[in-house]
């Protein structure tokens, strides 16, 4: 088994249905890392499912919610794998990170 690089956080980026969650869970299990489903975190934080958040608030507001959730998650000090559908292009998304995240595109 190969080992992951010495990382703080690993963000898996890909289209919906590309396997980010499946790959992330498998990597986390194989390497003893935590796995956090970003969509589940958003749903818990805002009390609605992703489709309802999109329908009620629109994509620009949803992306701000996603950014806020990601900023909170990136402050964790343990080694975590997150799936995302959009690359964190804004420096604000990673500014408070406890260490620079690695981005893998799936």
pLDDT class for 92, splitting at 50, 70, 90?
very low
Q: CA 60, CA 106: separation in Å to the nearest integer?
A: 24
Q: Nearest-CA neighbor of 49 among 33, 35, 32, 37?
A: 37
Give the residue-averaged pLDDT of 70-98.
Answer: 64
Q: Domain segments of the chain: what residues?
A: 9-105
**pLDDT number for residue 57:** 94
From the centroid of its chain, how far is CA 7? 15
Residue 103 has φ and ψ, to the nearest 5°, of -110, 125
What is the architecture, at CATH level 2, of domain 9-105? Answer: 3-Layer(aba) Sandwich (3.40)
Helix (H) or strand (E) holding 60, with range, is helix 59-73
Q: Are 50 and 42 in contact (CB under 8 A)?
A: yes
**pLDDT, tens only, 6-43:** 666 777 888 888 888 888 888 888 878 888 888 899 99
Q: CA 106, CA 101: separation in Å to the nearest integer?
A: 16
pTM: 0.71
Residue 49 has φ and ψ, to the nearest 5°, of -75, 160
**pLDDT number for residue 51:** 93
């Amino acid at each position: 088994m190969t080992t992951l690089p010495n990382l703080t956080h690993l963000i898996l980026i890909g289209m919906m249905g590309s396997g980010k969650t499946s790959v992330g869970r498998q990597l986390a299990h194989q390497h003893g890392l935590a796995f956090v489903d970003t969509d589940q975190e958003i749903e818990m934080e805002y009390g609605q499912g992703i489709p309802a958040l999109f329908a009620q608030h629109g994509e620009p507001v949803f992306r701000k919610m996603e950014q806020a959730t990601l900023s909170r998650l990136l402050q964790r000090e343990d080694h975590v794998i997150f799936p995302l559908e959009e690359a964190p292009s804004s420096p604000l998304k990673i500014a408070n990170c406890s260490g620079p995240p690695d981005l893998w595109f799936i």
